[in-house]
């Protein structure tokens, strides 16, 4: 088997995990979750997104969350998700951001629902932002949402995804991520697409973002690992989802992934017992939303 010795886990609980919760999780609770993730060994966290607070009220405290965590954890990479150039401006204005993530969906239907733009317009904004980020010393990740199945358009043509990867790389993305936003991909499809991307862009770090709708997420991570991906997103406590993508359920759970990878001798840096506790506590954060 072709497996790396070490991988990077990016915990996305504070962003993907909480963004669709309707009851606002207090900033101090988000900060406590981030501190606990770091205590368990995570060194890369997607902490928030600079999106429209009208579209996603849960992320309205993006700047406050960053202010509370960045200075006290100098060894952690805090990533923020952006939907457009205005998001970049807001992130830059904090003076605290060194790494940004951008998202475009592989299908027009989802991209319009998610960011109210065509795929081409999203990619134009990314190109402008990536150029600015290079000049500002900020690292960029380009994610492709619904890389496999879209809730509105069905099976996604791999050629479309590969073309967006090429555009991201041409625009200067420092990393590319393929996302199975609604958790419908199967391992053989994951292997084929990740291998094709790795083959074409061997020097571009490749990440996977899997949801667990059909409990395929660990199998999909395993397939992506063998195809050369070595960065994975996950969220504790089965948190996760996207209100704009019908059917999106929780992310692959960090504790489950840590169990698998640590057990396989692949270094994650994360303590399984500690992260399991964090997952249990994190579920309490969203209890008010369920009652
Ligand atoms: N952050 C905060 N406010 C923003 C913003 C941003 N990144 N981008 C735009 N706005 C504001 C504008 O300033 C404007 O404000 P005003 O009404 O006070 O003048 C208003 O939002 C409308 O701007 P517009 O450019 O027309 O945005 P839109 O309504 O077409 O929405 C997005 C576009 C991208 C801002 C919105 O779709 C969005 O935030 N999407 C993110 C969805 C998401 O997080 N999905 C989950 C992640 S995968
Ligand atoms: Zn997601």
- State pLDDT tens for residues 42-91: 999 999 999 999 999 999 999 999 999 999 999 999 999 999 999 999 99
Q: What is the pLDDT of residue 247?
A: 87
Q: What is the pLDDT of residue 286?
A: 77
Q: What is the pLDDT of residue 288?
A: 57
Counting from 1 in the atom list of ligand 1, the atom nearest the Cα of 87 is 7
Neighbours of 284 (CB within 10 A): 10
- The tokens 């057990």 sit on which residue? 263
Give me 274's structure tokens. 């500690």
Give the integer Cα–Cα distance in Å for 145 and 111: 8
Best residue among 20, 51, 145, 182 to mutate for probing ligand 1's pocket (most ligand atoms within 8 Å of CB) is: 51
Give the integer Cα–Cα distance in Å for 73 and 76: 6
Best residue among 46, 47, 83 to mutate for probing ligand 1's pocket (most ligand atoms within 8 Å of CB) is: 83
242 assigned to active site: yes
Give the integer Cα–Cα distance in Å for 53 and 8: 30
For 149, phi and psi rounded to 5 degrees? -135, 135
Give the integer Cα–Cα distance in Å for 206 and 101: 13
Q: What is the pLDDT of residue 71?
A: 96
Query: Which residue owns the Cα nearest ligand 1 atom 45?
Result: 114
Give the integer Cα–Cα distance in Å for 106 and 245: 12
- Indicate the range of 208-222, 237-251, 268-282 predicted with least confidence: 237-251
The H-assigned helical ranges of 62-186 are 62-69, 85-94, 108-115, 119-136, 158-171
Q: What is the pLDDT of residue 66?
A: 98
Q: What is the pLDDT of residue 290?
A: 47
Average pLDDT over residues 230-254: 94
Give the integer Cα–Cα distance in Å for 181 and 246: 10
In the chain, what is the greatest distance between 2 CA atoms, to the nearest angstrom?
Answer: 48
Residue 154, Ramachandran bin (φ over 0: left; ψ between -120 and 50: alpha; else beta):
left
**Band of residue 116 on the pLDDT scale cut at 50, 70, 90:** very high
Beta strands 154-155; 149-150: pairing state = antiparallel
| pLDDT of 289 above 80 | no
Neighbours of 164 (CB within 10 A): 23
Asked whether the beta carbons of 151 and 183 are under 8 A apart, the reply is no
- Residues having CB within 6 Å of any atom of ligand 1: 19, 49-52, 55-56, 83-84, 86-87, 90, 103, 114-116, 242, 244
| 3-class state of residue 174 by DSSP | coil
Neighbours of 89 (CB within 10 A): 13
Domains in the chain, CATH or no CATH each: 8-286 (3.20.20.70)
| 150-197 pLDDT per residue, tens | 999 999 999 999 999 999 999 999 999 999 999 999 999 999 999 999
């Amino acid at each position: 088997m072709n497996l790396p010795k070490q991988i990077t886990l990016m915990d996305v609980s504070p962003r993907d995990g909480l963004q669709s919760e309707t009851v606002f999780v207090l900033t101090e609770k988000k900060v406590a979750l981030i501190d606990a993730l770091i205590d368990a060994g995570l060194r890369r966290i997607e902490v928030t997104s600079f999106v429209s607070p009208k579209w996603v009220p849960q992320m309205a405290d993006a700047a406050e969350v960053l202010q509370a965590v960045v200075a006290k954890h100098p060894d952690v990479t805090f990533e923020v998700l952006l939907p457009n150039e205005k998001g970049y401006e807001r992130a830059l204005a904090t003076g605290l951001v060194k790494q940004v993530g951008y998202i475009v969906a592989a299908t027009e239907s989802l991209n319009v629902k998610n960011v109210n733009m065509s795929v081409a317009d999203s990619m134009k904004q990314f190109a402008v932002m990536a150029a600015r980020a290079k000049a500002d010393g900020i690292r960029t990740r380009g994610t492709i949402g619904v890389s496999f199945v879209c809730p509105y358009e069905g099976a996604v043509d791999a050629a479309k995804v590969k073309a967006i990867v090429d555009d991201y790389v041409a625009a200067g993305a420092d990393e590319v991520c393929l996302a199975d936003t609604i958790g419908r991909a199967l391992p053989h499809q994951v292997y084929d697409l990740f291998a094709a991307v790795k083959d074409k862009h061997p020097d571009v770090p490749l990440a996977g973002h899997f949801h667990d709708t059909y409990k395929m997420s660990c199998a999909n991570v395993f397939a992506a690992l063998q195809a050369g991906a070595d960065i994975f997103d996950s969220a504790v406590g089965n948190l996760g989802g996207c209100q704009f993508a019908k059917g999106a359920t929780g992310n692959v759970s960090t504790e489950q992934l840590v169990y698998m990878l640590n057990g396989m001798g692949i270094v994650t840096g994360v303590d399984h017992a500690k992260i399991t506790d964090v997952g249990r506590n994190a579920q309490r954060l969203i209890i008010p939303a369920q009652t």
